[in-house]
Chains A and B, each alone.
Chain A
Amino acid sequence: MSYRIKLEQFEGPLDLLLHLVVKSEMDIYDIQIAQITAQYLDYLSLMKAHQLDVAGEFLVMAATLLHIKSRTLLPASPRDEENDEGVDPRAELVQRLLEYRRYKEGAEKLEAYPQLNRDVFIRPEQSMQEEGPSEAVPADLNDSPVSLFELVEALRRVLQDKPPPAPHTIISSPWSVEQGMRLLRRRLNGEEYVSFEQCFSGVTGRSEVIVVFIAMLELVKLGQLRLVQLNPQGTIYLYPQPELHSDRCVAALAPHSCEEL
């Protein structure tokens, strides 16, 4: 006959320790280290007895507890007293527990808030085509620079829709950066601006997306292109600069045809 014991789930060693302190009705500022250490180790062996993998963090905490226990048992050496002025070896642990308890409570309060798509609902996202920057573009494009992280985030969104590369295949990129630049030049030709996502429409593979992205960065570096973002986490727009279409020397470097684009 076998029977099962349900073990409470703990998020980590701090969570378990906090539970033990509360359960034994101890003052968190005056933890009985010997007692708590024994309970903690009991719990770990219970986890092992139930063939649960004990994560490394639980063992680190066990070592910390034993270390603190040994320090409380030993008389403080005179040198220690000079250096630390008799700091309680439990102090750091208590601080961590208190801090952890605060965030645990914060998480519980948040959890009780009405959550979107669980308790409350809004109109689902619409796929209306965005026509362009919804607000007036500032005269000075320098006023709305794009941060590196926003740019990476936009790239991630584009890549999300592309199929992952097939496994066990070595892909040689069929496109060169020059071709990517030509594609962008063609897209931007005669346009005042083009959205980041629009640049990648019709670009099917992940590696092609990356080539076009590098080409975009290259054009920005050459000062032929400007990236503008009006709202935090809003759409990023590409603004061609006058130099973009006058500069032909780079395109001349790549004589291959890219008509298939």
Chain B
Amino acid sequence: MTSMQRRRDVIGGLIVMTVGTGFLTVGSDLDMGSSFRMGPGYFPNVLSVVMIALGLAISGLALRCPKGESGSTPLPWRGLLLIIGAAVFFGFAVRGLGLAPVLLGVVLASAWASRYAAVRTSVSLAAGVAAFCTFLFIQMLGLPLPLTGPWLSLEHGSPLASVLASAELPAVSGPALSK
């Protein structure tokens, strides 16, 4: 076992223990019942304890191994942020912006997670994916999502319309296009 593996397993075991403890804590107020009439808390609590034990075993076994040189790989922060962010953005904005614009955003954002990203290819990829998906999911399959959403509509009362309206009025505080 190399030192990196050792460190990794110690951390892994600790995380497993934390997850087990978390489930045990949240599930502590569930009714255990008895072995013969198990309550909703029986299974979760037993499994949480097993989980903690497994975490202990993983860390313990790793600690027993001799120490070696240490080393670590850096986390790909840009990728993590952009890709997880792209998914979160989708969830957040798909109903408001509609499928086509939100997909443009998702593809563009995630494309930038790659070191090979280039503006022209990213934009055409985003346009292609958005066009294909809106055709397939909205036209063919009837997924209940708008092509472009209410945030982009110019009807009365919609946020965009309000932004446009408020731009003409003085004394309006705060951005209307909130969240």
Q: Is chain B a partner of chain A in the same complex? A: no
Instruction: Please report A residues at the B interface, Cβ cutoff 8 Å.
Output: none
Instruction: Please report B residues at the A interface, Cβ cutoff 8 Å.
Output: none
